[in-house]
Amino acid sequence: MNPYVFKNISYLRIYGEINSFQKDLLIYFKHLKSVRFDGQNFRKFMHKIGIDWISYLNINKTINPLKMRKVYSNYESIVNISIAFNNQEYVLYYYEKFEPLFNVNQTFPDEDFCIYKNFPFNQLIHIYFDSLDYNSIRIPNLSCTTLWLFYRTYMFNLYYNSLNKSKDYFEFLLNASEILKKVSECQFEKRINLCSLRPPKSPDLDVTVINAIYYTNFFDGLIRFYLIPIASFLGLIVYLFSVIVVIKSNAFGQKNQKNFFIYILTISIINFLICFSQLFRLIPDWPYGLSNRIMNQVFSQYLKIILFDFFGCVLKFCSNSVYVIISIIRTGKIFCKDSQVKFKKAGNYYFTYRFNFKLNKSLHI
């Protein structure tokens, strides 16, 4: 990477699934003040890459993060790492009523604590989760891993909010939030010591909802843009062939079969039109070329509603209705044949009985 191209960048947004990341990449971003990740993929990213890349941020700074005055005096040097769970730009396409697909405790569970034990807090790096309120004294239930990453930045925010207040206001906020009590309950020193005894192991991470949505969209696109057009094109050929065969045949000359073949011809024409409309329905949905610009026109949207949606439903209704009529005709013919056979059998039995009776009577048997 050319260090002169990106040297003035102050904000960096990294969304999606990252497969590799150069460890010393961010050392070239001298003016970087904020890095933003999406919470859906951040856990996978950390399991693959680790946290070594973070240590190249503010590499020349070393300040105790709990010394609030020193941190505040170097306020302009703070680099923020933000983890976004409520970013509607990223997931609103998939959901009308947006709800976070993952939450902070799922992304930072307790079993992942050892990944973050060497997080470089002393380099003025603050981590923010957009689903948490850093100015509230009410802290929700958090995993110890989340609390480990959260509490120093949270305490600094409380300190910052108390600068124009009384001398003891910061202590009051600490006590009211019970943040130090929560930190004590997690026993971080003990957890850090246990990390050296636990062999490094990368757990099998579940497929994220974003991955599932990606595969769903992939198969949806495969069906809509390939399988439906192919099936519609084959349907055009089959139903056109059916129309030609019915017209060329002598079926309409037969009195008994005329109505039946009229319905077959009708269903073939209707289904031909349905297949034809399905081929053209692809145009407004096609994501490339001028289709999006064309479909943004009001006239085009009315045309789509009337031509494809309304008349498409009418054609499908007519098709199903004709199928029902054909089924009734065929069922009626089967019952007629059965009744005729039964009538013939009954007549044969009656004729045989009468003939035998008369023959026996004449012979006096």
Structural domain of 343:
210-362
Same-domain status, 261 and 123: no
Residues 1-53: tens digit of each pLDDT:
566 677 788 898 888 878 888 888 888 888 889 999 988 888 888 988 889 99
Same-domain status, 190 and 280: no
Task: Flag whether 1 is in a domain.
Answer: no
Give the type of residue at 18: I
Query: How many CA atoms does the CB half-sphere of 42 hold within 13 Å?
Result: 27
Would you say 72 and 42 are in contact if contact means Cβ atoms under 8 Å apart?
Answer: no
Residues 262-278: tens digit of each pLDDT:
888 888 888 888 888 77
CA 105, CA 94: separation in Å to the nearest integer? 23
Residues 240-253: tens digit of each pLDDT:
888 888 888 776 66
The answer on pLDDT for 349 being more than 50 is no
Same-domain status, 198 and 230: no
Same-domain status, 138 and 270: no
The answer on pLDDT for 363 being more than 70 is no
Domain's final residue, options 174, 203, 232 = 203
Task: Flag whether 3 is in a domain.
Answer: no
Comparing 333 with 163, the larger pLDDT belongs to 163
Tokens read off for 205: 């991470």
The answer on pLDDT for 235 being more than 80 is yes
Domain's final residue, options 136, 168, 203 = 203
- pLDDT for the residue 28: 82
Same-domain status, 160 and 239: no
Same-domain status, 243 and 349: yes
- pLDDT for the residue 316: 86
Task: Flag whether 6 is in a domain.
Answer: no
Residues 169-227: tens digit of each pLDDT:
999 999 999 999 999 999 999 999 988 876 655 555 555 555 666 667 677 777 777 78
Same-domain status, 191 and 249: no
Task: Flag whether 143 is in a domain.
Answer: yes
Same-domain status, 270 and 214: yes
CA 126, CA 153: separation in Å to the nearest integer? 6
Tokens read off for 281: 């329905």
Same-domain status, 156 and 295: no
Tokens read off for 70: 């020193």
Helix/strand/coil (H/E/C) assignment for every residue in the chain? CCCCCCCCCCEEEECCCCCCCCCCHHHHCCCCCEEEEECCCHHHHHHHHCCHHHHHCCCCCCCCCCCHHHHHHCHHHCEEEEEECCCHHHHCCCCCCCCCCCCHHHHCCHHHHHHHCCCCHHHCEEEEECCCCCCCCCCCCCCHHHHHHHHHHHHHHHHHHCCCCCCCHHHHHHHHHCHHHHHHHHCHHHHHHHHHHCCCCCCCCCCCHHHHHHHHHHHHHHHHHHHHHHHHHHHHHHHHHHHHHHHHCCHHHCCCCHHHHHHHHHHHHHHHHHHHHHHHHHHHHCCCCCHHHHHCCHHHHHHHHHHHHHHHHHHHHHHHHHHHHHHHHHHHHHHHHHHHHHHHHHHHHHHHHHHHHHHHHHCCC
Same-domain status, 262 and 215: yes
- Bridge partners (DSSP) of residue 35 are 12, 81
Among candidate residues 221, 202, 146, the one with its CA nearest the CA of residue 179: 146
Tally of structural domains, the chain: 2
Task: Flag whether 290 is in a domain.
Answer: yes
Among candidate residues 24, 21, 12, 17, the one with its CA nearest the CA of residue 42: 17
Same-domain status, 37 and 186: yes
Q: Is the dihedral of CA 125, 130, 131, 136 positive or negative?
A: positive
Task: Flag whether 2 is in a domain.
Answer: no
Task: Flag whether 88 is in a domain.
Answer: yes
Task: Flag whether 5 is in a domain.
Answer: no
Among candidate residues 6, 53, 52, the one with its CA nearest the CA of residue 25: 53
- Bridge partners (DSSP) of residue 126 are 80
Give the type of residue at 332: G
Same-domain status, 82 and 130: yes
CA distances from 250 to 247, 255, 261, 265 (A): 8, 11, 10, 13
- pLDDT for the residue 347: 46
Domain's final residue, options 203, 221, 237 = 203
Within 10 Å of residue 184's Cβ, how many Cβ atoms? 10
Among candidate residues 204, 149, 201, 155, the one with its CA nearest the CA of residue 176: 155
Residues 82-105: tens digit of each pLDDT:
998 876 655 444 444 444 556 888
Minimum mean pLDDT range among 72-76, 107-111, 338-342: 338-342
